[in-house]
Chain A
Amino acid sequence: MIAAGQPAPEFTLRNQDGEKVSLSDFRGKKVLLVFYPLDFSPVCSDQLSIYQEVKPEIEAKGVQMVGISVDSGFAHKAFQEKLGIDTPLLADFEPKGEVARAYGAYIEKVGHANRSLVLVDAEGTIEWVHESPTPLEIPGANLIFDALS
């Protein structure tokens, strides 16, 4: 897993609406990358639902939050609608898991990302990383607020 202090690997992925989103688009403000395994899986659903509830508070601290999984943009769109969330979701779809691999967040034997949080500062350097011990464990939103305080 990538570590704090390292430069955040640049990427360009398509979001749920098919629009290209690059890490450099966020230069000048902090961005929280939420790597998660799969759309519609129970734990991921719970995680993103919880984060949606505190998204205004996270954004009030000058942080944009984006989710990243290997699902396609179409799946992301449906997932957003199902959950009632508006967190942008980026499709690390093809090459599969390329961005997750660049961050050390890809689990090869299962073919999806782990469950981790990567806070990138306004200059593009990794400020904080949290990797869940297992994909079954949701990082509480309290960890995010602790990292931002």
Chain B
Amino acid sequence: MPPAGPDDHRKGEGPELIVYADLGCPHCASAWVEISKREATVVFRHFPVASKHPRSPALHAAAEAAGLQGRFFAMVDALYADRGHVDDPHLWQRVERLGLDLERFEADRRSASIAARVRRDFESGIRAGVTGTPAIFD
């Protein structure tokens, strides 16, 4: 598993936790509540399992797109907080609440570069032996 680097999404301070998570996964949503309370540097890595959660790829792309406007973890928090509302109109509502540029968000989340960024994390998880989410490495 690649160590955390400058391209990773990280928040907090303290011992490092690398978290492979699926934004469509209910177990990840529950774990995220606890993870967020930890005094730790949380490194989030994308691990969408589309066959289990068909909406996941879109959610991860949305988080990355929000990240390009400086609100990655805010979008992650918003997605996990309400997993029942994750269709496009619900994403747009979150974009508006977070004060993001919607047009840019829409273009970014559909970009090949973001898809590659998500896939890169996923493949690193596969190489690390991740077989389910959440997978947490400390």
A residues adjacent to B (C-beta < 8 A): 45-50, 52-54, 83-85, 138-143, 145
Q: How far is the CA of A85 from the CA of B49 in the complex (A)?
A: 11
Mark B100-138 against chain A: 1 for CB-CB distance below 8 A, else 0: 000000000000000000000010001111111000000
* A50-B131 in contact (CB<8A): yes
Q: What are 17 residue pairs bridging A and B, where the CB atoms are less than 8 Å apart in the complex?
A: A49-B52, A50-B130, A52-B51, A53-B126, A83-B51, A83-B52, A84-B51, A138-B131, A139-B131, A140-B126, A140-B129, A141-B131, A142-B126, A142-B129, A143-B129, A145-B126, A145-B127
B residues adjacent to A (C-beta < 8 A): 49-52, 54, 122, 126-132
Which 6 A-B pairs have CB atoms at the shortest separation, nearest pair first? A140-B129, A138-B131, A84-B51, A52-B51, A49-B51, A49-B52
Q: Beyond A46-B132, A141-B126: 9 further Cβ-contacts under 8 Å? A: A48-B51, A52-B51, A53-B51, A84-B51, A84-B52, A138-B131, A139-B131, A140-B126, A140-B129
- How far apart are B24's CB and chain A's nearest CB, in angstroms? 12
